[in-house]
Amino acid sequence: MIEYIRKHPEKVLGALTEHIELVLITLVISLVIACLLTLLAMRSERVSDALNNLFSVLYSVPSLALFALLIPVTGLGRTTAVIVLTLYNQYILLRSFTAGLRDVDPAVCEAAKGIGMTDMQILTKIRVPLARRAIFAGIRLAVVSTIGIGTIAASINAGGLGTLLFEGLRTINTPKILWGSVLSALLAVSINKLLKMVENRL
Amino acid sequence: MSVIQYENVCKKFAGSSKYAVDHVSAEIESGEFITILGSSGCGKTTLLKLTNRLYDPDDGKIIVEGVDIKTVDPVELRRRLGYVIQQVGLFPHMTIKENITVIPSLMKWDKRRMDERADELLKLVGLEPAEFRDRYPHQLSGGQQQRIGLARVLVLDPDIMLLDEPFGAIDAITRLNLQNELLRIQGSLGKTILFVTHDINEAFKMGNRVMVMNEGRLLQFDTPREIVQHPADAFVKSLIDSARTQEKFWEGAL
């Protein structure tokens, strides 16, 4: 294994960088969409249930299948990967966000409404600050999930650590396989740990 | 001049065949301290929530300060009235000062005005500003939290205040102090107060006039003396009798 990285450091580092880029781009887009969907979901229980059902159905589709379904529409490569990963993230984010926001002490929310705060003010000044841990936990889970599912993205030319993994499997190159899997796992575990530390301080 | 008018107000909740508020009509004059008395489920809280449009009536009208509240923006109405619930609902992530000045900060008051108002109100409710303004709600006792709840609704100096069993969760000694504080504040500021309670002694002690409710209907609306001397029906009479029995117990024990 050590010999492999001594001979091809750019390959390993390149794959790692691609993977991190993929995760970051997906995260930003996922958050924007999740925030908009959460605003919709908070207005009505029915909309909230409908959205949750939609995304849980999508989440249950195996990632390789969802990638394959989108290829005729958006082609091979990173775009398709980002779209699929973002769709998966909505399941996690929407659920955590709405559950956290709804879980805030009802007496506090009733008092807020009674003294004359608008629904939006109650959301931003009361619910969000009090639900910050649940919200952040949702983000953390989404990031870790993206790191994991992102390895499959290599199968549709989106790059990332999966590249090492798949090439290694194809050519039975053990060091490659190991580097691909070990780095993915390390990335997931260390990011999870880091974000958990932040979450505990919230 | 009547400051609140209920005209045949009705409210039914979805899935229930019974009225929560059943054709209630009443007029409340400026500066009165009105207690609304009844047991659980009699409609007193619902009536209060209809007054600041947390609920809307199915039938009838409510007129506040001369205007049918159906035509008014609910948020603006709620800021004009004061509303305190039994659990108070102080915002746990904000300091006492921030809790009191929530609405002013949303209305973009300047900082100095907000600080001064917060200190003024803390003094009014009997708490030392320097000691309490930067504390958090969880650091206060139940009685202190109720005082902050009052301060929070007094911040915009509303003419009318709606209090829903504010002292229900407080111990008897603190409750006595808070009752007297509230009477003092109301007396010096001349506010109109609607005070919901299930405690007959509290209702009769605090109210100029008492609304007795049962099963959504307003049974009697009169001064405590009139109610005691001329109860309107059997239910009101049974309330009086139960209070009398308690009194006799204390007299006997002494």
pLDDT value at residue B15: 87
pLDDT value at residue B135: 96
How far does CA B102 lie from the centroid of its chain?
A: 20
Kindly give the confidence (pLDDT) of every residue in chain B, 254 residues in length, as a single tens digit, with 9 standing for 90 and above.
799 999 999 999 988 889 999 999 999 999 999 999 998 889 999 999 999 999 999 999 999 999 999 999 999 999 999 999 988 999 999 999 999 999 999 999 999 999 999 999 999 998 999 999 999 999 999 899 999 999 999 999 999 999 999 998 888 888 999 999 899 989 888 899 999 999 999 999 999 999 999 999 999 999 999 999 999 999 999 989 888 888 787 787 65
Q: Which two tokens stand for residue B190?
A: 């001349």
Ordered domains of chain A (ranges, CATH): 10-201 (1.10.3720.10)
Distance CA A83, CA A80 (A): 5
Which class is B2-253 in CATH? alpha beta
| B2 in A contact zone (CB under 8 Å) | no
Instruction: Work out the angle between the directed axes of helices A78-102 and A132-150 (0-180°, nearest 10).
Output: 160
Q: Do residues B103 and B155 make contact, with C-beta atoms less than 8 angstroms apart?
A: yes
Q: Do residues A104 and B78 make contact, with C-beta atoms less than 8 angstroms apart?
A: no
| B103 in A contact zone (CB under 8 Å) | yes
Residues of chain B found within 8 Å of residue A110, distances taken between Cβ atoms: 54, 85, 89
Select from B76, B85, B106 the Cβ nearest to the Cβ of A111. Answer: B85
pLDDT value at residue B254: 55
Q: Do residues B220 and B232 make contact, with C-beta atoms less than 8 angstroms apart?
A: yes
Q: Which two tokens stand for residue B154?
A: 């007094």
Q: Do A111 and B88 touch (CB under 8 A)?
A: yes
Distance CA A199, CA A139 (A): 10
In 3D, which of B20, B16, B85, B30 has the Cα closest to residue B52?
A: B85
Distance CA A141, CA A139 (A): 5
Tell me which residues of chain A have a pLDDT lower than 50: none
pTM for this prediction? 0.87
Distance CA B183, CA B221 (A): 20
In 3D, which of A22, A54, A49 has the Cα closest to residue A153?
A: A22
Select from B85, B90, B106 the Cβ nearest to the Cβ of A110. Answer: B85
Q: Which residue has the tokens 């999508």?
A: A58
